[in-house]
Structure 1
Amino acid sequence: MASEHIEQKLALLPDLPGSYQMKDLNGKIIYVGKAKSLKNRVRSYFKSEHDGKTAELVRNIADFDFIVTSSEKESLLLEITLIQKYQPYFNIRLKRGTGYPYIKITNERDPQIELVSIVKKDNAQYFGPYPNVYAAQETLHFIQKNYPLRRCSGFQGRPCLYANMGQCLGACWREVPVMEYQTQIKKIQSFLAGNTQTVAKQLREKMDVAADKLEFERAADIRDQLNFIAETVEKQKIISKDGTPRDLFNFYMDKGWLSVQIFFIRQARLLKREKRLFAIVDEPAEELTSFILQFYNRKNTVLPKEILVPDGVDTELISSVLKTEVRTPKRGEKKELMNLAIKNAKIVLDEKFRLMEMNEQKTNGAMQEIADALGINEIHRIEAFDHSHTQGEEIVSAMVVFEDGVPNKQKYRKYKIKSVNHADERAETMEVIRRRYSRLLKEHEKLPDLVLMDGGVIQLNAAREVLEDELGLVDLPVAAMVKNDHHKTADLLKSEGSQHTQLDPKSQGFFLLQRIQDEVHRFVITFHRNLRSKSSLGSKLDEITGIGPKTRQKLLTKYGSLSKIEKASKEELKQLGLSEKVIQALKISLGAIH
């Protein structure tokens, strides 16, 4: 029987082609598959009876992920690529490389072209893999006839049969110049890259001539050859035409959340996909620009030769910082890849929203599970707090309320922090807790059954200090939602030095806790975003004569706040490309603001 988590994800699967990846409890990919309909195929694992290896596979599945493609054939090619990359335990048939062949040009003085099932590290050129084995064989025969290399075993003092037929360059009887081989190899590379228009036109003309002469069998053979070529070298949107290492970024935004997709394209293949989902404050293009710069500012990160980004992202800024080519595709297969990334990003974000709605509806026992974990008799109302700021400035806090597992948005509250003008988690927490609960006491309102702080020991201790020492609410339970490395709730913390309270990651209590964390984070970020849109740093810079979008982005990236820009020296600003006139206007304007 599928877990509650998997049941929810099954309900959200799209009726689209793609590749799916089954994972075990450790998050390791144990099986990769393809589907004409992800919805039907993935559901079949959990809704049908199985035996043998399939039953064993299903017993080991703890989670799954998927990537939407534009066609069933693309899902097949992506499946092959992911199997070769991750070597999943249950993909016995394909992981050894025996499923689909490659066309190989050998790396030797007199190269040959052949069909192989395994890619080796031998500096040879490989093309494929090709899903239709028979079509690949026939295409190889066509190449051997029309773009011959060496087909014999080597020098023997006389021409071989293939040389006499014009299907071998003649290494059997002469020393073939290297340039002669290179000329043929370039033609083969172009042909297998999809440039088959000339060849196809010639074959169609031959087919028409054969048909006119009533040579229908020959015409049928040529027709089949055309189909084999189309089947083998058809252009695929999921695959780049060249071998340039490139990363592709695109996003979809809704309700204050940004869903980012990163495609890693290597050896003309989509080798890996990563996804990120987070609430945002700035405009999406600015957030993505910042995200990309942070994404590569990691240990052991290898930059690709090219980065693809959507419209609105500052390509010049990213390129100048990362020292690599950054482009925005306008047409062709790269543009289609960008569209595919948006499609996947939208599906991920839609799935999150629908999961949040489903978790609201399935709260039976979830509140009690949290109560039991914290040693509380029962919980009906939870109030959760979170903070947000921009590089230590424009500090705000927010509170969300969950009653019997369901958010009560009429009771949500927003707070502009007044006691501090720089980032101070302890002071921010003390102010918002003091303002909230001193007011409830003053107005004789009912207190919650649990107060949750989004953070750790600092926020927990600050909240306790106000509630217990200042307000005398020693019996009001408080806990901190402790995050893991992925910024997701992992544990609950009751007091400093105590062991973290862990919930079953598949339980409804755990899902509810994550729902609360997501909601309070979304609410505070949305509040912060709305405030910034009214009097944001960017909008104030836009009002200054001589500062355009690129200069604005440079100032935002380097300084992040009006006060820091105001304190910057003229020499520093000149290094960013600002003229004396613009610097003067900037200083005057910022002086008036402050």
Structure 2
Amino acid sequence: MTINIEVAKKLPRSPGVYLMKDIENKVIYVGKASSLRDRVSNYFREPDSPKTRLLVRNIEGLEYIVTGTEVEALVLESNLIKEHMPRYNVKLRDDKAYPFIKITNEEYPRICIARRRERDGSQYFGPYPDSGAVRELIKMASGFGIRRCRKKLPCPPCLNYHIKQCAAPCIGKVTKEEYLGIIRNVADLLKGKHNELIRSLTEDMERLSGSQEYEKAAHIRDEINALQELSVKQRVNMPGKKEQDVLAYAVSGNIASLQLFHVSEGKLRGRDTFTLGTAGSDEEEMLSSFIKQYYLDVMPPQELIIPEELADVSISLWLADKGSKLKTPKNAVEKGLMKLAQENARMLLGMQLLKEGKNEALDALQKALFLPAAPSIIEAFDISNISGTDATGSLVAFLNGKPDKKNYRRFRIKTVEGTDDFAMMGEVVKRAYSRRKEEGKRMPDLVLIDGGKGQLGSALAAMRELGLNIKTAALAKEFEYIFLPGREAPVILPKDSPALKLLQRIRDEAHRFAVGYHRKLRGKRISESELDGIAGIGEKRKRALLKYFGSVGKVRAADVEEIAKAPGVRRKDAEEVWKYFRK
């Protein structure tokens, strides 16, 4: 069956969900609409994005389900996306990898770790990226008396009862009402409601003390102390008592990183990180899809703070039914939290791209320099030549945008005299690649020359002499212009361009490495010449002085008595050294 606009026009104008299928009858996209006819028809009217055009080309079948309201459609859409995992829907990839804390739905609930949420009536808290935090929280919760064992009650008590880590409902040591009170306290702990829980426990402790049940009161006192210590660890404090989630994201291509900050009782109590496969969706659709998938099974907080308002009002209505308000940052504290979350999202996205072998700067560099592919290996050359002496050259290597220091090389100029930077650049490039060519080793994807057209020309001439054709560019310091072979005009990139920043970082590293070697050679030459000019100080005593003092400067500053302390240096030698430096 061919799906086109004529088929779409026969759909009802009711709210509902539509399922698009491919030639193999597999669901490739699930969407919801306030009017099925209008929404589906839009796909066949000049699609405005590459994703939509690709989707339409693959549609071979269509199903729809009518719902009573758009909010009902939103819930059904989320369920169907989780069931079918369609290719063109945004996919939440990371949440199932993180553990949850689960309080089971039993007559006497127990606490345990779960790897996924299930619709079994249990309470779920998390997910927690840090498994160590999960163990710490469960250990603290056990101190309230909640059971951890899987045994069918009643049964003999286990070790946890004897070490005061369980209230032992298995042998009737606690009534059902008292045990459910323990469950409420543990739930408050996991929700981060520490202040409320401390107040409640303090009342219980005073009541027990008044009735002279001192052992129970002491146990509750220990719980209060542990809670207060936990509260001190919450170092990010904000005014207010609301429970809030702060969502921020960063996107690159089909990958997005999303940060979810959890704020409770005015304290930042944790964060979760997620990676989304955007399937080419725009940012609003990506954020809407995350909210629908994540909060379908998780109770949302009182307020959900997002960077910008969503055009889809059904999301706000759906959250309102769950007792949550969708909003953008309003005050300085909320704006600060959003900025912090966005910075974290950008950082984690960069790490994810590197992990997957991708790099935004390398992709931008490919386009800016007209390269056939993003350059994974970049090598840069620089010359350090001050006052025409001790000239050196450097080669630094970057792999996937990061320094590859094991492949750094340094060169002492051998064939060029004076201050001919162009000739020196040619010598260093030729020496660097002649041996590599003989050994058949891989050449870089891009060579970066520190300098302008003159240095670039010398480097290219050296490569031609070796029969090499490597993509090469030069970065000139004065205006940060990029010169390419065969192009008269330079490439000029914006100052905030990721490609330019990467080239600058590589160029600066090559300069640092070359200057460091030059200074080392120059310092060695100066040291040798100064000590060599002192009568009676041969090679053995010179080495002894340098080893003892560490440098010629320290020898120069020393008095006769100090110089004479160096091993093998006689007093008369010390006097000669002291006199030499005071001529």
Note whether the superposition's TM-score is higher than 0.5.
Answer: no
TM-score computed with the length of structure 1 as normaliser: 0.31
Query: Given the two structures, how large is their TM-score scaled by the length of structure 2?
Result: 0.32
